[in-house]
Structure formats: structure tokens, C-alpha cells
Amino acid sequence: MYQFDCGVCSDVGVLRGRNEDNFYLNGVWNRDLAQLRTLAAEQCQEALLCAVCDGMGGGQYGAHAALAAVESLAAFTPQHFPDQIDGCVRRAGQAVCRMQAQMDAQDMGTTLACLAVSGGQATAFNLGDSRIYRLRGGQLTQLSQDHTNAQRLLAAGLPCQPRDFHILTQFLGIPLEEMRLEPFVSGEIPLQDRDRFLLCSDGLSGVLTHGEIAAVLGARRGAAETARLCVQTALAQGSSDNVTAAVIIASRWSRPGFLRRLLPGR
């Protein structure tokens, strides 16, 4: 069995007027869209559900799209996965589409990057360009796959332009009757002691190289401090976007578990 040290940091950044990112961590998410929040937790239990969403549509629209998506995750527990990935994505997509109708904002949407851990196995799945990484033995592996026009063109052996990296081909907010949502799914990944996972918005992955991410993620720090350092490093490297990082550190344990409730970081 495993103990999980979990930490989340989300920052509005230096240029944006509102944080359009949101997160989900075992029943906790940012419910106050006017508030920036750093959360930290230590959890000794074998099940974990974590997600990062990066809203689109500008200002309040992107923020509300991301909020609708993470709220929908509360209906699931880690034991639902991987069997319930399609149901989870469908429910989240419907929640965002309902928010579109309520706010009369058809351009609103959000990415979704999610990691579910249960029974010593992890499953990663995503829509859009928010990413999931694993650091194991000093080697960084991207567990997610970007859903961008650039990725589609490169896979077909065709040239792409810089703007193609910002055009999403899959995201929550596409009406289900218009297009089938097809998340990338990693498959089940057996956990190993000291695995470190990072879920992040493109405000982080868009400015830091794999080497820089590996260096920050591999530092001998707890999850909450590592998440803060990931965000601080991205901002120092010139990120002009909202930046969100969720860090999960797995370690083996052999005694009864406990749960410490998430509290706002200081």
C-alpha cells in the first residue's frame, strides 16, 4: 500500500486579471473564483483522484468552465477508474455545456488532466494541453498527450505553425452531439516507491523544458513545497499565463492510514 503526499499551487500570474485554472484533489477544489489559493495535504490512504483544468473563453467564462468541470469530479471516487473514464468525461463535458447555456458563452471550455490512483495502480487521462508527468528514478515521462492542431499535423508528418500549438482539437465544452470526446488514456501504471507525479496547466509546461521540470520535481522537498516551487520557477522563466501545479509523491507504507484535511497554505 502507498502513502501520498499531495500539494497544489495555483497562481493568477503577472498579466491575467483572473485565474482561469482550477484543480481537484480528493474532494477539494477552488470554489472562490476571486481567490488565489495554495493548498497542501498529507494523505495516508491508497486511493487518490487529482485533476487540473485550464479554462478558456477569457475572464469569468474560462474560470466558470474550469469550475464546472472540477465540480463534476466530486461524483467519482478513485475506485471508479479506469472503467469510468468515459462516464467521467461525459459528465464533465455536460457540466461545461450547461454552464455555456447559462452564461450564453458558446466559446467557453476547459482542458482536463486527471490522475486516478487505486490499488497500487495509477491511470492518467486528459483532454487538451494540460499535462501529466511522472518522475521515476530521475527520468521524466509525459503520461498525457496534447490535443492540439500541432500534434495532429506532426503525427501526420505535416509542417505546423506556432499558432497550431494553441489550437485545441479536444476539450470539455464541445457539444457531445457535435463531436465525440476521446480522452487520451495512459492505461494502468503500476506504482513504484518514490514515484513523483506532476499535473500542470500550460502556463508551466509552455515555458519550462523537460530538464527544468525534472530538476524542480526531483528536489528533496515535500509535495506542497514542490508545487509552489514549480509555479515560482515558471513565473520566473517568464510565464504570462495562469500557472497551476499539483504534485503527488507516492511512498510505500505498512501501517493504518490517516487523512489530514486540506488547509489554505500560508
- pLDDT of 261 > 80? The answer is no
DSSP character at residue 79: G
H or E element that contains 155:
helix 149-155
Total number of domains in the chain: 1
Write the pLDDT tens digit of every residue in 117-156: 988 899 999 999 999 999 999 999 999 999 998 888 888 8
DSSP character at residue 166: G
Please name the amino acid found at residue 171.
F
**How far is it, in rounded angstroms, from Cα 79 to Cα 249?**
19
For 76, half-sphere exposure in the C-beta direction (CA atoms, 13 angstrom radius) is 31
Give a yes or no: residue 157 inside a domain: yes
Give the SS3 label for residue 170. coil
For 252, half-sphere exposure in the C-beta direction (CA atoms, 13 angstrom radius) is 5
Residues 6+ positions from 69 with CB-CB distance below 8 Å: 22, 51, 53, 92, 95, 96, 110, 112, 172
Residues 6+ positions from 42 with CB-CB distance below 8 Å: 3, 5, 6, 222, 260
- pLDDT of 101 > 80? The answer is yes
Its domain, for residue 46, covers 2-254
Write the pLDDT tens digit of every residue in 159-180: 888 888 888 999 999 987 888 8
Please report, for the domain that includes residue 21, its CATH number.
3.60.40.10
Give a yes or no: residue 266 inside a domain: no
Give a yes or no: residue 15 inside a domain: yes
The percentage of the chain sitting over the pLDDT mark of 90, rounded to a whole number, equals 65
pLDDT for res 266: 40
Give the SS3 label for residue 91. helix
- pLDDT of 200 > 60? The answer is yes
**How far is it, in rounded angstroms, from Cα 88 to Cα 32?**
23
Give a yes or no: residue 193 inside a domain: yes
pTM: 0.91
Of 113 and 254, more confident: 113
DSSP character at residue 211: H
**How far is it, in rounded angstroms, from Cα 53 to Cα 31?**
13
Instruction: Tell me the pLDDT band of 89, cut-offs 50, 70 and 90.
Output: very high
Give a yes or no: residue 265 inside a domain: no
User: Residue written as cell 482561469?
Assistant: 20
65 in Cβ contact with 99 (< 8 Å) = yes
Write the pLDDT tens digit of every residue in 21-66: 999 999 989 887 776 555 544 555 678 899 999 999 887 899 999 9
